């Protein structure tokens, strides 16, 4: 194999591919987070509107803790297996947060980078911005970029996020069904109590 085939990291052939992939990745992040927010809202079921408002305005780490507590406080609406799966999903969000920030704050560059006369990178990449301060990984002999995303890597990231959303939504719908069942049961009990009171007065 030639040097180019074995060591060159190839970027995209057009900047438009990077721009499109950034949009797909960030939209997928929001879609997955929105599903998690919907799950939290379903657990609270309108009982604590102020708590939900706080959840919306809180930092992501605080929202994760609020979700954990909501699952404990409303355990009648979520099974142990579902709660365990949600905690795994929250941990996945924690792992993906750095990459989300890279995608959100990187910028597209048409790059040719060589080391010791050998081409190392060529094409369009999403790289750290100059003001970030940790642009290069100085642990590498040739000072590689801390990250260099391509459209392919960002689309893989987006697919992983959508897979999280697809795991969240069935749990959310199960919670909504249980909340509705409890609401209907309470309504029937209240109707029966009112009917009994009216019968007692007759």
Asked if residue 139 is part of any domain, the answer here is no
Please compute the mean of the pLDDT values over residues 66-87 and round it to a whole number.
94
CA distance 27 to 45: 26
d(CA 195, CA 189): 10
Query: Higher pLDDT residue, 200 or 33?
Result: 33
- Is residue 137 included in any domain, yes or no? no
Domain count, the chain: 1
Q: Would you say residue 132 lies in a domain?
A: no
Residues 99, 138, 108, CA angle at the centre, nearest 5°? 45
Note whether residue 19 is domain-resident: yes
Q: Is residue 63 part of a domain?
A: yes
* 35 located within any domain: yes
The pLDDT-based confidence of 135 (bands split at 50, 70, 90) is low
Backbone angles phi, psi at 8, to 5 degrees: -80, 125
Residue 170 lies in a domain: yes
User: Which pLDDT band, with edges at 50, 70 and 90, does 136 fall under?
Assistant: low
Kindly report the pTM of this predicted structure: 0.82
Q: Put residue 140 in one of left, alpha, beta given phi > 0 → left and psi -120 to 50 → alpha.
A: beta
Establish if 136 belongs to a structural domain: no
Q: Supply the range of the domain harboring residue 151.
A: 3-127+144-201
C-alpha 149/C-alpha 170 separation (Å) is 32
């Amino acid at each position: 194999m030639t040097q180019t085939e074995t060591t060159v990291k190839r970027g995209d052939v057009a900047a438009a591919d990077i721009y499109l992939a950034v949009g797909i990745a960030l939209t997928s992040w929001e879609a997955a987070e929105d599903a998690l927010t919907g799950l939290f809202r379903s657990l609270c079921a309108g009982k604590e509107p102020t708590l939900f408002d706080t959840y919306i305005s809180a930092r992501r780490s605080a929202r994760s803790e609020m979700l954990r507590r909501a699952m404990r406080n409303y355990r009648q609406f979520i099974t142990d297996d579902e709660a365990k799966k949600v905690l795994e999903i929250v941990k996945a969000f924690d792992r993906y947060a750095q990459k989300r920030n890279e995608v959100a704050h990187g910028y597209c560059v048409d790059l040719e980078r060589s080391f010791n006369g050998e081409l190392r990178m060529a094409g369009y990449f999403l790289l750290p911005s100059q003001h970030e301060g940790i642009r290069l990984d100085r642990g590498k002999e040739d000072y590689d970029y801390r990250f260099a995303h391509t459209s392919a890597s960002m689309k893989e990231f987006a697919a992983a996020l959508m897979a999280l959303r697809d795991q969240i939504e069935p749990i959310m719908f199960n919670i909504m069904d249980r909340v509705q069942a409890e609401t209907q049961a309470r309504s029937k009990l209240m109707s029966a109590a009112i009917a009994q009171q009216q019968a007692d007065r007759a």
